[in-house]
Amino acid sequence: MRKTTLTLTVIALGCFGASIATAPPSLKFTSMGFSIAPLTAPADATNYIPLLMTLPAGEDGFTPHVNVLVQPWETTLEEYKENSLRQLKDSGFTVIAEGFTANAEGGTDDAKAFVMEYEGDLGEGMLHYYAKARARRGNIILATATASSATWKDYALALKTSVDSLTVDGAKKPADAPNAAKPATP
C-alpha cells in the first residue's frame, strides 16, 4: 500500500510539474500585486483581442481602456496606414496626429510602428483614441487606448505609456525550412 501511494504521488507530481513547465510566462502586474498566465490562442489566430485592460471609470462614466488586437494584414505597414486613415476619414473621425516611429529596434523595416491619435463619436459621445500598429508575420498587432474626450487629459499619460510599450517578436515570417548557417564573408 505504501509503495502504491508513493508511486501515485510521484506520478501526480510529475504531471503537475509537466503542466507548469508548459504554461506560458505570466503577465506581471507588479503595481497591483498579481500575475496571471495569458490565454493562448493558436499561432495562426487573427481578428481577436488577446488583451483588454481597463482603468476605473471617469467622472462621465466611461471606462478608459487599452486593448490589443491581432489583424491579418499581408501588405506593408505604409498601406495599413493609408487604409486606416481613409477608414477614419470616411467614418467622420478627426485625425489629430499620425506618423511612423523611428526604426530603432532591430534595424529592419519591420521594427518601425505606425502611431495615430484621433477623435470621433461612435454613439457613446466623443471618444479620444491613441493607437500604435506593428507588423508581425502577416498580421498587424494594434494597441489602442480609448477614453472619453472630456477625460482624456486625466488619463493620457497612463494610456499612451501603455500603448507605446507595445513590441512584437519575430516581425518577419519564419522561413519554411531553416537554412544552414553560412560562414560570414569578409
Q: What is the pLDDT of residues 32-51, one digit of tens each?
A: 888 988 888 887 888 889 99
pLDDT of residue 30: 86
Of 18-22, 28-32, 70-74, 122-126, the poorest mean pLDDT is in 18-22
To the nearest whole number, what is the mean pLDDT of the chain?
A: 81
Taking CA atoms, 119 is separated from 109, 152, 174, in Å, by: 28, 10, 37
pLDDT more than 90, % of the chain: 54
Q: What's the pLDDT at 177?
A: 37
pLDDT at 53: 95
Is the pTM above the cut of 0.85?
no
3-state helix, strand, coil in the chain (%, to 5): 25, 30, 40
Distance, in Å, from the CA atom of 81 to the CA atom of 113, rounded to the nearest integer, reads 10
156: confidence class by pLDDT, cuts 50, 70, 90 = very high
Query: What is the pLDDT, as a whole number, of residue 148?
Result: 97
Pairing of strands 34-36, 94-100: unpaired
Instruction: Show the cell assigned to 146.
Output: 480609448
Confidence grade of residue 184 (pLDDT, cut at 50, 70, 90): very low
pLDDT higher than 90, residue 186:
no
pLDDT of residue 169: 81
Cell numbers describing residue 38: 495569458
Enumerate domains of the chain plus CATH numbers: 1-38 (no CATH), 41-164 (3.40.1000.10)
Tell me the three state secondary structure of residue 109: helix
Count of residues making up the chain: 186
Strand order in 94-100's β-sheet? 48-54, 65-72, 139-148, 126-136, 114-121, 94-100
